[in-house]
Amino acid sequence: MEAGEECEDGNIVDRDGCSSACSLEIPIVTLVSTPPYGNLPLTATITSTKEPWSNYLVFDYGDGTPVINNPIFPLIHVYPNVGDYTVWVTAKSNFTGQRAP
Ligand SMILES: [Ca+2]
């Protein structure tokens, strides 16, 4: 790597973990609950997408259920009680710095 670079992957492509400006990129993930709301008990199917250079770390149903480490989607979950629940997932870049071009 050269001075001022956070990473070097031998290309000038963005959204692969190391940007064209040689800075580390933050993974982008999506979460979708189907259905997003409904009558009780609500059975939700939760899907997610991530970029291939990142990994899921932790998933939370948002209702007090223990978090899931390294989840595999889709997840199916029953919400038995009335409430607003915010689901979330954390992703981390696999990029560790320098990769042989
Ligand atoms: Ca790149």
Assigned domain for 35 exists:
yes
- What pLDDT shows up at residue 97? 64
Assigned domain for 54 exists:
yes
Q: Which domain holds residue 56?
A: 29-93
pTM, full prediction: 0.85
- What pLDDT shows up at residue 101? 45
Count how many domains the chain has: 1
C-alpha distances (whole Å) from 18 to each of 6, 69, 98 are 8, 25, 9
Assigned domain for 47 exists:
yes
Joined together, the tokens standing for residue 82 give 């009335």
Q: How far is the CA of 99 from the centre of ligand 1 (A)?
A: 10
- What pLDDT shows up at residue 1? 83
Assigned domain for 39 exists:
yes
Q: How far is the CA of 12 from the centre of ligand 1 (A)?
A: 5
Q: How far is the CA of 94 from the centre of ligand 1 (A)?
A: 13
For residue 52, say if its preceding peptide bond is cis, omega within 30 degrees of 0. no
Assigned domain for 3 exists:
no
Rounded Cα distance between 49 and 82, Å, is 27
- What pLDDT shows up at residue 2? 86
Assigned domain for 16 exists:
no
Question: Which residue bears the tokens 């560790």?
Answer: 96
Assigned domain for 18 exists:
no
Q: How far is the CA of 65 from the centre of ligand 1 (A)?
A: 38
Question: Which residue bears the tokens 């009780």?
Answer: 40
Assigned domain for 17 exists:
no
Q: Mean pLDDT for each consecutive 10-residue tract of the chain (101 residues)?
A: 89 95 94 96 97 95 97 98 96 75 45
Joined together, the tokens standing for residue 37 give 């709301």
Residue 68, H or E segment? strand 68-69
